[in-house]
Chain A
Amino acid sequence: KQEVTQIPAALSVPEGENLVLNCSFTDSAIYNLQWFRQDPGKGLTSLLLIQSSQREQTSGRLNASLDKSSGRSTLYIAASQPGDSATYLCAAPYNFNKFYFGSGTKLNVKP
């Protein structure tokens, strides 16, 4: 069974800092790796999707990397802003199209 772990569970940084969120998975037979953002009381919003054959994806200040061999993905946020405060989740669709989610990293960016 796939296990997805996210470290750290919570992170508080001052505005303007660059930061890295980590996601690890136990089985590398994933179809892709997705990063989501969840705001309080809301659903998940897709941020980036890295196909299993890709190494990274970029969208604005966000960059996600994927290393299947080591079972790791990172989400890099450049020049963080208070509006980036949210919970970030990674998900790995796997065996029989099941999505396995990490428990998330709660990010607080202080003005």
Chain B
Amino acid sequence: DTAVSQTPKYLVTQMGNDKSIKCEQNLGHDTMYWYKQDSKKFLKIMFSYNNKELIINETVPNRFSPKSPDKAHLNLHINSLELGDSAVYFCASSQARPSISNQPQHFGDGTRLSIL
């Protein structure tokens, strides 16, 4: 069984469209994350939720809106897509925030977003 699953795996769309990426974890973890990996493979944190509460919002344009309906799900909605949004987006989870629990993060396989 996949621990952290993201859908879709690939997303090709045109500039200006709105799209969503979904993430689910079946590990019972409290904390979930969204990361963006650019063409140089640099991984940068975007958002983090702990028990459905937003705890990290890392200077991301407000076209990006995360939503956590429950602690097992963290979705990412992107409005008015731009060329620079092309990247691989990774969802991850951990048992708790690293400041209170030394447990590793578990990653999904990523969503490859291409903007035409």
* A103 located at the interface, meaning its Cβ lies under 8 Å from any Cβ of chain B in the complex: yes
Main secondary structure of the interface of A (DSSP, over half): strand
Please, which residues of chain A bring their CB within 8 A of the CB of B42? 101, 103
* B40, closest chain A residue (CB): A103
Please, which residues of chain B bring their CB within 8 A of the CB of A100? 45
Known contacts A87-B41, A97-B56; decide if A46 and B110 are in contact (CB<8 Å). Answer: no
Contact with B along A66-104 (1 / 0, CB 8 A): 000000000000000000000101010100111111011
B94 to chain A minimum Cβ distance, whole angstroms, is 9
Q: How far is the CA of A43 from the CA of B90 in the complex (A)?
A: 7
Q: A residues 16-51 with Cβ under 8 Å of B?
A: 31-32, 34, 36, 38, 41-46, 49, 51
Name the residue among B31, B41, B104 with the largest chain A CB count within 10 angstroms. Answer: B104
Known contacts A31-B99, A31-B102, A34-B104; decide if A44 and B41 are in contact (CB<8 Å). Answer: no
Q: How far is the CA of A101 from the CA of B110 in the complex (A)?
A: 16
Please, which residues of chain B bring their CB within 8 A of the CB of A93? 98-99
Please, which residues of chain B bring their CB within 8 A of the CB of A87? 41
Known contacts A31-B98, A31-B102, A44-B105; decide if A99 and B33 are in contact (CB<8 Å). Answer: yes
A interface, CB within 8 angstroms of B? 31-32, 34, 36, 38, 41-46, 49, 51, 87, 89, 91, 93, 96-101, 103-104
A-B contact pairs, 5 of them (CB 8 A): A43-B109, A44-B90, A49-B103, A97-B97, A98-B45
